[in-house]
Amino acid sequence: MARIRLERLTKSFGNVTAVKGVDLEIQHGELLALLGPSGCGKTTILLMLAGIYRPTSGDIFFDDERVNDVPPKGRGVGLVFQSYALYPHMTVYDNIAFPLRLRKTPKDEIDRRVREVARIAKIEEYLQRKPSQLSGGQQQRVALCRALVKQPDLLLLDEPLSNLDARLRIETRTEIKRLQRELGITTILVTHDQIEAMTMADRVAVMRAGIIEQLSEPLELYQRPANLFVASFIGDPPMNLVSMEYQVDGGTPKLVGGNLAVTLPPEARAGLEQASSRQVVLGVRPEDWRLSSQPVDGKPAGEVYMLEPLGRDTLVDVRVGQQAIRALVPGGAPIRIGDRVWLDWDVDRMHLFDAQTEARLPVAAGAAAQGAGA
Ligand code: ATP
């Protein structure tokens, strides 16, 4: 096991800075996901940890030892890629044994360790097959075994599930997570798939353009996104974001815009006054709206523009004037295109962001307030 620390870690390729001064600490036995859109620097961090890329500046520590100058072989790292990169002419057994043979490990020790990881990953019965005779999920488990057989201190997984179909992805992510827990091995998972990051990781670092935007436990990311980027990146279907203006009407704080008006509790004022201007962004997740076919006192009304049945839920596109709002209702709810509906939501389920800095505003949650049609 290893504790990993990154200090001001930076990597430039010519005039492109892929990783910009990242500070990060990963605990013994933790599974941390680096999550973000394509090109945000996730793989570059992973390759610096593996020793394949040298940092341009900053430091990497494994258990307080600075490893910047330690070559890949000396780092005790196991790496698993999206492409399993198995040797097609070798059996599964030989593929897994390969790194140990390179190290000239005694034969009986190799045999013991290959069978042990194969048992843990449940691929014992395939040891004499060639990779082409296995499913994608089984091949991925072989690749994982080949990394684990070296008994690495740190396991690095780069988009390990991307080549699998949806069903196998769910099964394999469960297996990888179980294995990681069982072995207690410090693991870093690189992915652009939020479901993968949220379901597998103890903590998730959301990245954009070479920096970490938020580092939190998965539910915290969803419930308290630190800024507009994280708010719009995490959640599917995504959070509704509406540009609004903050006003104070006779001492009462209000938000107006997008054909919506929200009266906030007085205690919200302190948080709103931290905004750099009166322009704010209201965020409401699709599942946090309540749609009613009956007028709700003082609430905005809209028209159902489109319905998208998803099975368990139906995604309803409601237009309040020009403003599009997407709400989730239970699948099969009696709602039709063209229906007039009233929108309601709880203040303690809404999110507010500074329109300029994009940071989350600390607006008191849990207090009652009323929404009103503009
Ligand atoms: P993806 O999910 O697409 O792999 P990523 O988040 O892993 O994306 P990186 O591969 O780390 O992103 O790349 C980050 C940035 O650095 C990108 O702009 C990329 O074009 C650039 N980059 C990465 N490797 C190199 C390289 N060897 N030479 C030049 N630029 C590079």
Work out which ligand 1 atom sits closest to the CA atom of 14.
29
Work out the end-to-end distance of the chain between its first and last CA atoms, rounded to an integer number of angstroms.
Answer: 58
Helix (H) or strand (E) holding 324: strand 323-330
Closest CA to 199 of 176, 224, 179: 176
In contact, 201 and 218? CB cutoff 8 Å:
yes
Does the pLDDT of residue 161 top 80, yes or no? yes
Among 172-176, 215-219, 234-238, the least confident range: 172-176
Is the confidence at residue 371, as pLDDT, over 70? no
Note if the pTM is more than 0.85: yes
Amino acid 194: pLDDT: 95
Instruction: Give 235 or 122, the one with higher predicted confidence.
Output: 235
Question: Over 50: is that where the pLDDT of 37 sits?
Answer: yes
Ligand 1 center to residue 48 CA distance, Å? Answer: 12
Average pLDDT taken over every residue of the chain: 90
pLDDT at 373: 42
Q: Provide the 3-class DSSP secondary structure of residue 296.
A: coil
Atom of ligand 1 nearest to the CA of 207: 6
Which amino acids bring their CB within 6 angstroms of ligand 1? Answer: 13, 16, 18, 36, 38-44, 192
Whether 4 has a pLDDT exceeding 80, the answer reads yes
Residue 359 CA, ligand 1 centroid: distance in Å: 26
pLDDT score of 1 more than 80? no
Q: Is the pLDDT of residue 156 over 90?
A: yes
User: 215-219: long-range contacts (C-beta < 8 A, 24 or more apart)?
Assistant: 215/24
Checking DSSP bridges between strand 211-216 and strand 203-208, what pairing results, if any? antiparallel
For residue 133, the 8-state DSSP code is: G
Q: Could you identify the atom of ligand 1 that is nearest to the CA of residue 159?
A: 2
Separation of CA 331 and ligand 1 centre (Å): 41
Q: Quick one: pLDDT at residue 298?
A: 74
pLDDT at position 364: 55
Task: Work out the pLDDT band at 369, boundaries 50, 70, 90.
Answer: very low
pLDDT value of position 219: 94
Sheet holding 252-257, edge to edge: 350-354, 279-284, 240-249, 252-257, 260-263, 370-373
For the residues 56-75, what does the mean pLDDT come to? 94
Q: Tell me: pLDDT of 95 over 90.
A: yes
As a whole number of angstroms, the distance between CA 308 and CA 333 comes to 12
Pick the range with the lowest mean pLDDT from 58-62, 158-162, 211-215: 158-162
Model pLDDT, residue 372: 40
Nearest to 240 by CA among 261, 258, 218: 258
**Tokens in use for 252?**
């009462």
Ligand 1, atom 21, residue with closest C-alpha: 18
> Which residue's C-alpha comes closest to atom 5 of ligand 1?
39
- Judge whether residue 42 has pLDDT over 50: yes
The per-residue pLDDT for 272 is 86
pLDDT tens per residue, range 237-292: 999 999 999 998 888 888 998 888 888 888 888 888 888 889 999 999 999 999 99
Residue 105 has pLDDT above 50, yes or no: yes
302, 318 in Cβ contact below 8 A? yes
Q: 299-339, pLDDT tens digit by residue?
A: 889 999 999 999 999 999 999 998 999 999 999 899 999 99
Of residues 118 and 367, more confidently modeled: 118
Q: Which atom number of ligand 1 is nearest to the Cα of residue 11? A: 16
pLDDT tops 90 at residue 370: no
Q: Is the model's pLDDT at 374 over the cut of 90?
A: no
